[in-house]
Every structure is written in structure tokens, then in C-alpha cells.
């Protein structure tokens, strides 16, 4: 967020509702989250100030009577030496959203699933008018379910004092990865280090998916997606130009062979 003119008071939650939440996990905050004022930090933005809000952190912007509330610690005075002509103007800010879906660890695995030539066999012959649902499509759904599965350390109720060991798990799949459209922007030494790191994360992510994939849970994930009220629930992280078949037959998925499912994943 960049403040262009005037002043604005921002309230930002200290901890996220869901750690590293994906775009389709956005939701309206609940009343107990809004009413717990101890959960929030407050900032006054003056012209030229910038504020970064990590994904998943509840936030609110207000134009308040700064003169009447000048005694508050959050309501700081703006320097008159910085953009004085903008300070008396209307309170305007500009927001930049940074998309992370296609540069996430989950997206990396979606690319890997799509590139595999061994997943084209049919898993479900017919599914509500759609014929030939492949194991590849089912694995895309399963990966999306595993990635969005929350752990106690993902939520605000667990707090931020938890040890990293307790938080290693599905949230790794929601982490961002560096993405460069031009390899020439990276030095050779840095490129080698970067690729080594990505390969390590890739293997960790495969292990997490292998352990976490569950036929019943993916069928319930599909059931929820089919009955959701908005398209946001149906957005996955794999590239839009690839396979976009959304399975809408959770009962047929639940009846698939667990042995066959595990064999495909392995």
C-alpha cells in the first residue's frame, strides 16, 4: 500500500487467519476476529509512506479525525517537509497485489503432475456427463486439497510462539518460490544455488503430498467445491492453460480403490 495524499489509519492483525493463505482461501473475517483489538497493530500512513501486508493478515483502513485523536500512539504527525502539498488533500492510497499462486510450491507440483506421462490412464470412466476422468485430474484435485488443509499452527488461535518443527507440513506447499521469466537476470552462481534449493523443496513437497493424500478427504474437498457459492472456491494453482476439468462426482471418487490411488501417487 502506498499513501498518495492525506493520512490514513491502518489496523493490521499481528498474526494471519490462515498462515500463507491462498487466493481462494480468502473469506470475510468473523466477529471474534474483528472485536479482539489486542490482535492488531495500528499505523498512520503519510504521503509517500508504504506498508506491506503479508497475505492472510486481516486489515482495515480508516480515515479518522486525526486532530481529535492526536494523543493516540498510532496517530503520528506527518512531516511537513515531506510532500506538504499532499498532506492537506483527500486521503488516497494505491494498493498493489502480488500474485503468488503460480510461483508457489504447490504450483511446482502441479507442473510436475501435468508433465508426467504416466498419469493419463482413466480413473473414472464417466462423471456427470464428463467421460474419461484421468488419474492426472484426480491428483490435481488431491494436491489442491492437501495444500489447503490447515494445521493448528496455521491459525491465529495457535499463536506465533510455536516452534518451526511443529509448523513444518502442508503449509510448505503454500510457500512462494522465486520465479524469473528471464534466466539472464540471474548470475550463474546464484542460479545454481537457487536450483539446488528448489530441488530440495520439491522433494520435501513430494513427501508431504505422498503422506497427506487421502481419497476420502479429496472427495469431501470436491463435494465442498461443487456446493460452494462462488468460483473462488474452485481456483487451483496450476496454470490456467493446462487441464481445467473440475470433478463434480465426489461419491465416485470416494469409491475408487485406495490401493490403486496409492500406487499412482507412488
Q: What is the mean pLDDT of residues 43-63?
A: 88
pLDDT at position 28:
75
CA-to-CA separations, 80 to 68, 77, 86, 95, in angstroms, rounded: 19, 9, 10, 24
More confident residue, 213 or 28: 213
* 50, 82 Cβ separation under 8 angstroms: no
Name which of 40-49, 166-175, 191-200, 204-213 the model is least confident about: 166-175
The position carrying cell 502441479 is 110
pLDDT tens digit sequence for 107-155: 888 888 888 877 888 888 887 777 788 888 889 889 988 888 766 554 4
Mean pLDDT of 62-71: 66
Residue 2 banded pLDDT, cuts 50, 70, 90: very high
- Identify the pLDDT of residue 229: 47
User: Across the chain, what does the average pLDDT equal?
Assistant: 76
Task: Give the confidence band of 1 by pLDDT, cuts at 50, 70, 90.
Answer: very high
Determine which helix (DSSP H) or strand (DSSP E) holds 5, and give its type and residue range.
Answer: strand 2-5
Amino acid at each position: 500500500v502506498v499513501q498518495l495524499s492525506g493520512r490514513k489509519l491502518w489496523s493490521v492483525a499481528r498474526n494471519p487467519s490462515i498462515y500463507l493463505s491462498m487466493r481462494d482461501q480468502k473469506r470475510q473475517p468473523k466477529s471474534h476476529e474483528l472485536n479482539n483489538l489486542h490482535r492488531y497493530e495500528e499505523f498512520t500512513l503519510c504521503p509517500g509512506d508504504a506498508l506491506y501486508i503479508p497475505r492472510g493478515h486481516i486489515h482495515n483502513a480508516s480515515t479518522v479525525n486525526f486532530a481529535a485523536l492526536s494523543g493516540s500512539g498510532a496517530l503520528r504527525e506527518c512531516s511537513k517537509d515531506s510532500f506538504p502539498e499532499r498532506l492537506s488533500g483527500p486521503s488516497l492510497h494505491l494498493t498493489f497485489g502480488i500474485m503468488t499462486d503460480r510461483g508457489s510450491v504447490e504450483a511446482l507440483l502441479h507442473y510436475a503432475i501435468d508433465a508426467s506421462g504416466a498419469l493419463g490412464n482413466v480413473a473414472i470412466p464417466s462423471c456427470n456427463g464428463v467421460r474419461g476422468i484421468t488419474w492426472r485430474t484426480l491428483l490435481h484435485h488431491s494436491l489442491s486439497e492437501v495444500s489447503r488443509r490447515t494445521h493448528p499452527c496455521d491459525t491465529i488461535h495457535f499463536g506465533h510462539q510455536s516452534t518451526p518443527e511443529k509448523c513444518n507440513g502442508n503449509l510448505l506447499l503454500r510457500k512462494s518460490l522465486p520465479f524469473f521469466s528471464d534466466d539472464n537476470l540471474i548470475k550463474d552462481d546464484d542460479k545454481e544455488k537457487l536450483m539446488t534449493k528448489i530441488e530440495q523443496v520439491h522433494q520435501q513437497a513430494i513427501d508431504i503430498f505422498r503422506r497427506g493424500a487421502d481419497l476420502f478427504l479429496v472427495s469431501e474437498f470436491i463435494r465442498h467445491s461443487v456446493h460452494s457459492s462462488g468460483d473462488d472456491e474452485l481456483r487451483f494453482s496450476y496454470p490456467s492453460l493446462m487441464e481445467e476439468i473440475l470433478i463434480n462426482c465426489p461419491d465416485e471418487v470416494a469409491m475408487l480403490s485406495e490401493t490403486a490411488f496409492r500406487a499412482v501417487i507412488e
